[in-house]
Amino acid sequence: MQGHLPMTQSYRDMLSEPMTFTLFPDSRGALAADSLAGLSVGDALGAQFFVPGVTADALPPGPWPWTDDTEEACCLVATLAEGDFDRDGLRAAVKIQNRELAAYELGCGARAMAQDTVPFALWVAARYLDDYPSAVAACLDAGGDVDTTCAIAGGVVAAYTGTAGIPPGWLAAREPLPDWLQVTH
């Protein structure tokens, strides 16, 4: 493949070693809150594009209801606030060395499930890490399950930019998060 650089042995070794760092509870809570804000805005905005006639130039007035993507993220944030979650699946994935085995074990998009949305959404987040509106626009332009891809990419980007990266009008138009969720900055 033209332009493809071969992986050096030392780089391969780095990929097999888990990256570790410590997030203190206050930092973890702030990142989770920012990520949830970005995820829920992306989810609610993306869901608007399932309504006929909605375009980026003609967004409907709020509130924009969020979907099950935000509900699931709220449950995850609540679980994290209670302590920690089981990381065994992530630790197992790091140990997979073979591309074919990784595709089989982790999925490669052939099953038309989360594996079809997550890789693309993370690709978008990596390309637009400091530009929330552009990340969401890239997901909208691609089509497909736009509420989910906007949610995932938006959550990652907002964890990086903070809520300041989310356009204030979009944040204000999003349906409020559930009352049972205690999110603090």
Confidence of residue 18 (pLDDT cuts 50, 70, 90): low
pLDDT, the chain, mean: 78
In a domain, 6, yes or no: no
Asked if pLDDT for residue 85 goes beyond 90, the answer is no
> What pLDDT does 66 receive?
93
DSSP, res 83: S
More reliable by pLDDT, 58 or 113: 58
Domain interval for residue 142: 24-173
Asked if pLDDT for residue 40 goes beyond 50, the answer is yes
Asked if pLDDT for residue 112 goes beyond 70, the answer is no
Confidence of residue 136 (pLDDT cuts 50, 70, 90): very high
Confidence of residue 108 (pLDDT cuts 50, 70, 90): very low
Coil, strand or helix at 58: strand
In the chain, the percentage of residues whose pLDDT exceeds 90 is 32
CA-nearest of 156, 176, 174 to 47 is: 174
Domain count, the chain: 1
In a domain, 138, yes or no: yes
In a domain, 16, yes or no: no
In a domain, 11, yes or no: no
Per-residue pLDDT, averaged over 148-159, amounts to 93
> What pLDDT does 171 receive?
95
> What pLDDT does 142 receive?
87
Coil, strand or helix at 28: helix
In a domain, 55, yes or no: yes
HSE-CB for 89 with a 13 A CA cutoff: 4
Q: What torsion, rounded to 10 degrees, do the Cα atoms 124, 128, 131, 132 define?
A: 10
pTM of the model: 0.69
